[in-house]
Amino acid sequence: MSVQPLRKEGDRNPQTAEEAKALVKHVESLFMPWKIDALVAGFTDDCVVRFGTVPEFRGREALRAFFTARSSKQKGYRLKKSFRTLVNDTITNVWQGEWQDAESGAAMRGFGVEVWVMHHGKIAVWEAAFNTGRADQANSVADLLR
């Protein structure tokens, strides 16, 4: 299986909003279906990941384990990422996702915000905040604070 790199222009960070938007769309495509090798290849060897309440982890092997675990739990994952900003070496995006929970079979949905700090065309720091819940239930603020 060939690995598609995140960037085709070599080892430079996106320089324009259009380049950053294209990168965000490319990353979106790697989740449907899960292309774990290509996703991992788009991060630096010493990447730092801060993903919601998951304890911070570092490096591609930990990232591979994270993506493998997620892909086994999120069946039929459908993702929409929307570029928001590019400032120097930092890209932000928001995302909406839908999937079926592998254990319960419940339809799920999520929304989040991501910050990517880029280094030589790869993601060096990935920070994400998000909320998830059952797709068939409306969540209130009180539900989110439980």
Query: Does a structural domain hold residue 146?
Result: no
Domain that holds residue 75: 17-136
Provide the domain count of the chain. Answer: 1
**Contacts of residue 57, Cβ cutoff 8 Å, sequence gap at least 6:** 48, 49, 63, 66
Query: Does a structural domain hold residue 142?
Result: no
For the stretch 17-48, pLDDT in tens is 999 999 999 999 999 999 999 999 999 999 99
Domain CATH number, residue 88:
3.10.450.50
Paired with 114 in beta bridges are 93, 128
Query: Does a structural domain hold residue 120?
Result: yes
pLDDT classification of 51: cutoffs 50, 70, 90: very high
Query: Does a structural domain hold residue 54?
Result: yes
Query: Does a structural domain hold residue 47?
Result: yes
Specify burial of residue 2 (Cβ count, 10 A radius: 0-12, 13-18, 19+): exposed
For the stretch 56-113, pLDDT in tens is 999 999 999 999 999 999 999 999 999 999 999 999 999 999 999 999 999 999 999 9
- Verdict on whether the full-model pTM lies above 0.85: yes
Q: Are 129 and 115 in contact (CB under 8 A)?
A: no
Specify the residue for token string 């990935």.
Answer: 126
Rounded to whole angstroms, what are the CA distances from 26 to 42, 52, 144, 146? 11, 22, 31, 35
Query: Does a structural domain hold residue 4?
Result: no
Query: Does a structural domain hold residue 90?
Result: yes
Query: Does a structural domain hold residue 49?
Result: yes
